[in-house]
Structure 1
Amino acid sequence: MTRRIGVYPGTFDPITLGHLDIIRRSAHLVDRLVIGVTTNPSKSPMFTVEERLDMVRREVEGLPGEIDVVSFDSLLMDFAQSQDASLIVRGLRAVADFEYEYQMAGMNQQLNDEIETVFLMADVSLQPIASRLVKEIARYGGPIDKFVTPAVAADVAAKL
């Protein structure tokens, strides 16, 4: 029997409750979920890759399912192939996300049509959450406890 392996890629800078919702739900769809922590050159991260790996590992500890957290710095499809993945998991919050993700899924399919992209809608209560906005709120001293776990809020506060 072939194991279903999924990859959920992102910068996770920092990991939010929205990310954790997608992780929990996608872990039920696959036998093994690989969370790929990457650096997006168009973003200026608050946390190093190592800090983000540690943060994500801590936050997913104890969640049901086989979940691995690894870093990558390559094309997503090359990374997915290296993990023997058959699907990519992407979370959607709004129409703007869909347009971008739809275009990326099309490009990825051109690179490797054996790996499917699966879109999961974020829980309605979590749809407005974005790491970029969490960092902006925190930089101006606003409360971020509705968007991240207490441990992540402490990590962000320590960075600032």
Structure 2
Amino acid sequence: MGTDDRVRAVYPGSFDPFTPGHLDVVDRARGIFDEVVVLVAVNGDKHPDADEKKRAAAVRAVLPPDWTTVTVAAWRGLTAAYCRDHDAAVIVRGVRNTSDIQAESRLAAMNESLGVATVFLPARPELAAVSSTVARAARR
């Protein structure tokens, strides 16, 4: 945490594409934390249609202009390293179901061991069925 006691949270993901569920998580996170960084990351297990810089630009394009406490950054590397380098105290993760919770809990434990806490925000029921995989398939 910074000397001004503002809490910066990081919401990482591949965001290929950025869905209404992602937007909802950002909106709720900005109500909890002073600043939210949407971290468009590279995941070696995923093969997005666009590179992280193009995906970051796409995310910026859909964020409402009055969300002045939300920024977007492209990143290659561990999320915990970004958090350390950019004075972020918390990682925010959206979870849709028990499978997400199990997978995210493992990541949260690793990030906790690296000094960064994780907060889970459950998906709203009406948005839980939409994943980036489903959204990608729908646009093809």
Normalization by structure 2: what TM-score?
A: 0.93
**Matches of 1:18 and 1:47 in 2, distance apart?**
20
Match of 1:79 among 72, 79, 82: 82
Match of 1:131? 132
Q: Could you say which residue in structure 2 is the equivalent of 1:69?
A: 72
- SS of residue matched to 1:28: helix
What is the one-letter code of the residue matched to 2:129? Answer: P
- 1:37 paired with 2:40, answer yes
Letter in 2 for 1:135: R
Match of 2:27 in 1: 24
- Which of 63, 88, 93 is matched with 2:91 structurally? 88
Match of 2:123 in 1: 122
Q: Which structure: larger Rg?
A: 1
- Report the secondary structure of 1:40's partner residue: coil
- The CA deviation string for residues 41-99 of structure 1, in whole angstroms up to 9 with x for no partner, is 11110122222111111111324341110011111110111120111100000000000
Distance change >3 Å, CA 132–CA 125, structure 1 → 2: same
Q: Does 1:10 align with 2:46?
A: no
Count how many residue pairs are aligned between Structure 1 and Structure 2: 137
Question: Structure 2 vs 1, CA of residues 90 and 63 (structure 1 numbering), >3 Å: closer, same or farther?
Answer: farther
Stretches of structure 1 that go unaligned for 5 or more consecutive residues are 140-160
> Within 2, Cα distance between the matches of 1:77 and 1:95?
24
Structure 2 Cα separation of the partners of residues 138 and 34 of structure 1: 26
**Contact kept in structure 2, 1:9 and 1:36, CA below 8 Å:** yes
Structure-1-length-normalised TM-score = 0.82
Q: Which runs of 4+ in 1 moved over 3 A?
A: none
On the 8 A contact 1:92/1:120 being kept in 2, the answer is yes
Q: Percent identity?
A: 34
